[in-house]
């Protein structure tokens, strides 16, 4: 079976959500919609401090579906490629495009998107399936909207990042 629709789900873990994030239920529901249709879902899980691999804090949110075709990769930095097997696994599977979602918009999601784009991967960002927390100088809603705008306009010659709603991605995948 060809792997055409790959979903990269970043840091949707119990420990990450110990800090309240906006729209948790909506974000998780949209990720579940996408993972149900994806040919391959890759969960990226941050391992740091009390979020050690295998701990309760490290585990994915209980409401997040884990399709039979899923993979999991642990990371220790905001960049999901940094010292992880992600790039190698994508190459082995012949994957050149990803749809990205998860937490936190302004940290791990943003960093991974920018690194993936610089590596030449074709990216779609699920504009309504990433979340973050309010920060000292900006609210979560503002951060999400601002990052969607930045990603859509990011200058990566020959490799524009597509920013679409979950509904638009689902329609594209079903077409």
1 pLDDT higher than 80: no
Question: Tell me: the pLDDT tens digits for 131-165?
Answer: 999 899 999 999 999 999 999 999 888 899 999 99
Q: Write out the two tokens for 154.
A: 């990011």
Residue 71 CA: distances (Å) to CA of 8, 42, 138? 10, 5, 33
Question: Tell me: the pLDDT tens digits for 96-135?
Answer: 999 999 999 999 999 999 999 999 999 999 999 999 998 9
Q: What's the confidence (pLDDT) of residue 130? A: 98
3 pLDDT higher than 70: yes
* pTM for the full predicted model: 0.97
Question: Tell me: the pLDDT tens digits for 53-93?
Answer: 999 999 999 999 999 989 999 999 999 999 999 999 999 99
Q: Which CATH architecture has domain 6-174?
A: 3-Layer(aba) Sandwich (3.40)
Query: Any residues with CB less than 8 A from the CB of 3 and at least 6 apart, and which?
Result: 39, 40, 93, 94, 95
Q: What's the confidence (pLDDT) of residue 69? A: 82
5 pLDDT higher than 70: yes
**Which residue ranges make up each domain of the chain?**
6-174
Cis peptide before 141 (omega within 30 of 0): no
DSSP β-ladder status, 122-131 and 71-75:
unpaired
Q: What's the confidence (pLDDT) of residue 31? A: 98
Collapsing DSSP to helix, strand or coil, 75 comes out as strand
pLDDT band at 167 (very low <50, low <70, confident <90, very high): very high
Q: Is 147 exposed, middle or buried, given 0-12, 13-18 or 19+ CB atoms closer than 10 A? A: buried
Alpha helices per DSSP H over the chain: 24-37, 86-93, 110-118, 140-153, 166-174
């Amino acid at each position: 079976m060809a792997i055409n629709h790959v979903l990269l789900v970043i840091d949707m873990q119990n420990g990450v959500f110990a800090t309240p994030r906006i729209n948790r239920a909506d974000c998780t529901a949209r990720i579940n919609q996408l993972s149900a249709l994806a040919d391959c879902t890759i969960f990226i899980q941050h391992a740091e401090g009390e979020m050690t691999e295998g701990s309760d804090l490290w585990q994915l949110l209980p409401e997040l579906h884990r399709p039979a075709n899923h993979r999991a990769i642990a990371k220790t930095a905001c960049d999901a490629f940094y010292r992880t097997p992600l790039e190698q696994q994508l190459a082995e599977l012949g994957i050149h495009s990803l749809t990205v979602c998860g937490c936190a918009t302004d940290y791990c999601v943003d960093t991974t998107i920018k690194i993936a784009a610089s590596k030449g991967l074709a990216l779609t960002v699920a504009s309504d399936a990433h979340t973050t927390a309010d920060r000292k100088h900006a609210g979560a809603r503002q951060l999400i909207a601002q990052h969607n705008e930045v990603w859509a306009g990011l200058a990566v010659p020959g490799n524009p990042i597509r920013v679409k709603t979950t509904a638009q991605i689902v329609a594209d995948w079903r077409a």
